[in-house]
Amino acid sequence: MTPRKVIIDCDPGQDDAVALFLAMSAPDELEVLGVTTVAGNVPLELTQRNARMMCDIAGRTDMRVYAGCDKPMKLEAITAEYIHGNTGIDGVDVFDPKTPLQDMHAVDYIIDTLRNAAKGTVTLIPTGPMTNIATAIQRDPAILDAVDRIVSMGGAMREGGNRSPSAEFNVLVDPHAADIVYNCGRPVTAVGLDVTHKVLSTRERVARIRGVGNKVAEATAGMLSFFHRYDTKKYGSEGAPLHDPCTVAWLLRPDLFETRVCNLSVETSSELTLGHTAVDFWHVTDRPHNVEWTYAVDAEGFYDLLVERLARFGG
């Protein structure tokens, strides 16, 4: 099987970091062409460093990491240190990574890569605010020809918002970018809080991950233990939602998820509900079906997959 070519566009973030590990664990299935970073959970300076640290931990100092947009398309930046800690990846010790930062801007890298790729051959995986991808699309819409699919973490329907009463963080931070991405005309799988809130990192699951015993699993367990604190208190649940790795898991094991093709529209102007994703799950409008909305997940199967993949790393 030829591996699927992917670009991961992220704002690490503990859960983005685990998404990177999961993607790098499956070279037979996913060829990570590059990792692009964006301002989100923490400022760009930290998200690019964190992504490079994760490549080091995974033994992939050859990975190409790019820094992109340092603020949303039209709004001021919002960060989330109160969830992720001041480093964005509290739970692992910060170090100066060997994986270099590429000189090119992430948006230029995305445009360049897609311009040079064959039709429908590259999958984009945004796990942060979608500023880099939307900016690339806006600058050169023809690049979409090379896109096979976009698998994004963002939005919420039944769960309501996590950063405002109506909006999920990634979409709230840059609703204008999300609007461009969801309506870009290529197939979009939208993984939102309805699913990620079911994938809880319970103590038992974190212990299972730690038990894998290699460096990557140790880092994952460390980050999830930290992540645990805030979300467990907020939701009153045993364990925090593990959002971003659901995108990669969907690519590796779509059978773990249930999806429905429907319309998703983003609120871009209301002060009260900015960033709300109006998901027309029951097809009550005739708006075009622009996304495959994920609404159910086999959480146990997800953690089995994660544990099995983390065990593939050496050391």
Distance (Å, whole) CA 8 – CA 69 = 14
Which 73-92 residues touch ligand BDR, going by CB under 6 A?
A: 80, 83
Of 62-70, 163-171, 179-187, 292-300, the window that binds ligand BDR (rule: CB under 6 A) is: 163-171
Residues 210-249: x where in contact with Ca ion by CB under 5 A, - otherwise, as a string: ----------------------------------x-----
Beta carbon nearer to Ca ion, 26 or 39: 39
The 8 Å CB, 24+ separation contacts for 307-310 are: 307/208, 307/209, 307/212, 309/21, 309/22, 309/25, 309/26, 309/252, 310/21, 310/22, 310/25, 310/209, 310/212, 310/214, 310/216, 310/217, 310/220
Residue 34 or 126: the one with the smaller Cβ distance to ligand BDR is 126
Structure tokens at 28: 């037979």
Q: Which is nearer to ligand BDR, 83 or 177 (CB)?
A: 83
Q: C-alpha angle with apex 179: 74 to 298, nearest 5 degrees?
A: 125
Q: Is 20 helix (H, G, I), strand (E, B) or coil?
A: helix
Q: Which is nearer to ligand BDR, 41 or 111 (CB)?
A: 41
Return the residue of 8, 13, 39, 295 that touches ligand BDR, per CB under 6 A: 13
Our finding on whether 16 is near ligand BDR (CB under 6 A) is yes
Contact 253, 151 (CB under 8 A): no
Looking only at residues 237 through 256 of this chain, which bind ligand BDR when binding is defined by CB under 6 A?
243-244
Helix (H, G, I), strand (E, B) or coil at 124: strand
Q: Which of 5, 6, 13, 194 binds Ca ion (CB under 5 A)?
A: 13
Task: Output 38 or 110, the one with its CB closest to Ca ion.
Answer: 38
Indicate whether 15 belongs to the interface with ligand BDR (CB under 6 A): yes
Spot the catalytic one: 84, 197, 243, 276: 243
| Min CB(243)–Ca ion separation in Å | 7
- Indicate if 243 belongs to the active site: yes
* Residue list 122-141, contact with ligand BDR (CB under 6 A): 127-128
37 in Cβ contact with 143 (< 8 Å):
no
Exposed, middle or buried: residue 249 (CB in 10 Å: 0-12, 13-18, 19+)? Answer: buried
Nearest to residue 134, comparing CAs of 33, 268, 240? Answer: 268
Considering only residues 249 to 308 of the shown chain, the ones binding ligand BDR according to CB under 6 A are none
What distance in Å separates the CA atoms of residue 85 and residue 103, rounded to the nearest whole number?
A: 28
Q: How many distinct helices (H) and strands (E) make up the chain? A: 12, 12
Say whether 291 sits in a helix, a strand or coil.
Answer: strand
Rounded-to-integer distance, Cα 7 and Cα 20, Å: 10
Rounded least distance, CB 10 to ligand BDR, Å: 8
Considering only residues 30 through 49, tell me which ones interact with ligand BDR, judged by CB under 6 A: 41
Radius of gyration of the chain (CA): 18
Query: Should residue 128 be labelled a site residue for Ca ion when binding is judged by CB under 5 A?
Result: yes
Find the binder of ligand BDR among 36, 170, 225, 263 (CB under 6 A): 170
Interface mask (CB under 6 A) for ligand BDR, residues 219-238, using x and -?
A: --------------------
Catalytic residues: 243
Which residues sit at the interface with ligand BDR, rule CB under 6 A?
13, 15-16, 41, 80, 83, 127-128, 153, 162, 168-170, 243-244
